[in-house]
Amino acid sequence: MAVDLLLGLQWGDEGKGKIVDVLTENYDIIARFQGGPNAGHTLEFDGIKHVLHTIPSGIFHKNAVNVVGNGVVIDPVIFKKELDALKKFKLDVKSKLFISRKAHLILPTHRLLDAASEASKGKAKIGSTLKGIGPTYMDKTGRNGMRVGDLELSDWKEKYRSLANKHEAMINFYDVDIQYDLAELEADFFKAVEELKTLTFIDSEEYLYQAQKAGKKILAEGAQGSLLDIDFGTYPFVTSSNTTAAGACTGLGVAPNQIGEVKGIFKAYTTRVGSGPFPTELFDEDGETMGRVGNEFGATTGRPRRCGWLDLVALKYAVRVNGVTELMMMKGDVLSGFEKLKVCTAYNYKGEQIEHFPYNIEAENVTPVYSEMDGWKEDLTKMTSADQLPKALNAYIEFLEKELEVPIKIVSVGPDRTQTILR
Ligand code: IMP
């Protein structure tokens, strides 16, 4: 039985949480494979709105097992908050949520290092969520990190101390003013670790292998988006993990030949939080309308998201790097009421027109070339089937399918589970 993937194709916030929640009925296991609490997956159902950061979005479904894979970085303090917020739903977390022993731990000093690093960069800052993601992955690849499995060893606090001491020396190395009370942060951390230890730790690659052999259906849930990938994103304005399809193999221990469908999610327009280039960004009333109607504020940091037209050059790149087999278009409803819609189909790159995603997309090198299409006025949010969609929206969808050479199977017309149209 193959493992299907679900990936964001832009700069994150495409609506993966909602779609995993919708798709979970078809899967036995939902597995997160990278990133950490920098993600914010919003789910809406039965009038409830809930944001998850590290816990996979299948947690609300009775029969789904949720796995936090080895590629994820876990902050016990944020994890505890997530667990606390779930308590009111009375879920059997111990039997529904498994954590890889090989997942790395975010220590309080990783968060401080993130803040010190960003402060030292001044105008060149990444716009990090400041959750300690970069420093934790640095310790992972530097072979210094602490893993969930270490918590089962008797000397884990010694390992912790030695790493935290090193981090303190590094924080002092940055010549910036970071105020903190480590004793207080550590008290919270140790308390949260004790709660984490009540959960089920597993060798997740073995668990997933056996589950696959037993015919279980597995969905690997990505966080962030392809343009934030450490290798293929708009480096250095990226996150610190591989958000693209290959990340699911290394982040779960799933072999490449076991990957089945690659489901790619994109918004009908584009958003970005944090710094970094964004060729189709709008600074006018249209961008302001997208932000307001689309409620474009970061689920983790609350920061307003930058908004712009759909960038097909970037989307094609993401479709190819990931090997996307089916697409899902989110937030089509937000574009209702625009007289004309623009789609970027090429870049003017250093004076030459190109259709591929180049090494560098900074504004001084790239200006977007747009195709214009008719908009639609209808409110989509109450529509329930594909035959109700307005003609101009169908034309928009068909144009994208032709350009991307992949079918768009789901059109989302609102945040709720029920506002999902299958094509
Ligand atoms: P970090 O991963 O917190 O270090 O942030 C690096 C960059 O990725 C920043 O521009 C963040 O705004 C962005 N980022 C990280 N996580 C998300 C996400 O879940 N959605 C959108 N952007 C994100």
Q: For 324-339, what is the mean pLDDT?
A: 97
Burial of 25 per CB tally in 10 Å (0-12, 13-18, 19+):
exposed
Q: For 393-399, what is the mean pLDDT?
A: 97
Distance 38 CA to ligand 1 centre (A): 6
For a ligand 1 pocket test, name from 9, 38, 126, 130 the mutation site with the most ligand atoms within 8 angstroms of its C-beta. Answer: 38
Q: Which atom of ligand 1 is nearest to the CA of 38?
A: 16
Q: What is the pLDDT of residue 300?
A: 80
Tens digit of pLDDT for each residue in 150-179?
Answer: 999 999 999 999 999 999 999 999 989 899
Q: What is the pLDDT of residue 188?
A: 98
Tens digit of pLDDT for each residue in 252-309?
Answer: 999 999 999 999 999 999 999 999 999 999 999 999 999 999 999 988 888 899 999 9
Model confidence at 37, in pLDDT bands (50, 70, 90)? very high
For a ligand 1 pocket test, name from 273, 300, 301, 303 the mutation site with the most ligand atoms within 8 angstroms of its C-beta. Answer: 273
Q: Give the closest residue (by CA) to ligand 1 atom 20.
A: 12
Q: Give the closest residue (by CA) to ligand 1 atom 2.
A: 239
Active site annotation includes 139: no
Q: For 324-351, what is the mean pLDDT?
A: 97
How far, in Å, CA of 329 to CA of 109, rounded?
A: 39
Q: Is 212 in the pocket of ligand 1 (CB under 6 A)?
A: no
Tens digit of pLDDT for each residue in 348-395?
Answer: 999 999 999 999 999 889 999 999 999 999 999 999 999 999 999 999
Q: Which atom of ligand 1 is nearest to the CA of 114?
A: 4
Tens digit of pLDDT for each residue in 115-136?
Answer: 999 999 998 999 999 999 999 9
Distance 238 CA to ligand 1 centre (A): 7
For a ligand 1 pocket test, name from 129, 235, 297, 305 the mutation site with the most ligand atoms within 8 angstroms of its C-beta. Answer: 129
Q: Which atom of ligand 1 is nearest to the CA of 223?
A: 19
Distance 377 CA to ligand 1 centre (A): 33
Decide if pLDDT at 1 tops 90.
no
Active site annotation includes 41: yes
Q: Is 39 in the pocket of ligand 1 (CB under 6 A)?
A: yes
Distance 239 CA to ligand 1 centre (A): 6
Q: Is 228 in the pocket of ligand 1 (CB under 6 A)?
A: yes
Cα–Cα nearest to 115, from 171, 38, 54: 171
Percentage of the chain lying above the pLDDT 70 cut: 100
Q: What is the pLDDT of residue 45?
A: 86
Task: Lowest mean pLDDT of 143-147, 171-175, 189-193, name the range.
Answer: 171-175
Percentage of the chain lying above the pLDDT 90 cut: 91
Q: What is the pLDDT of residue 175?
A: 86
Residue of 4, 21, 28, 41 with catalytic role: 41
How far, in Å, CA of 1 to CA of 354, rounded?
A: 40
Distance 36 CA to ligand 1 centre (A): 10
Tens digit of pLDDT for each residue in 45-102?
Answer: 888 889 999 999 899 988 899 999 999 999 999 999 999 999 999 999 999 999 999 9
Q: What is the pLDDT of residue 147?
A: 98
Distances (CA, A) of 38 to 128, 170, 395: 8, 22, 36
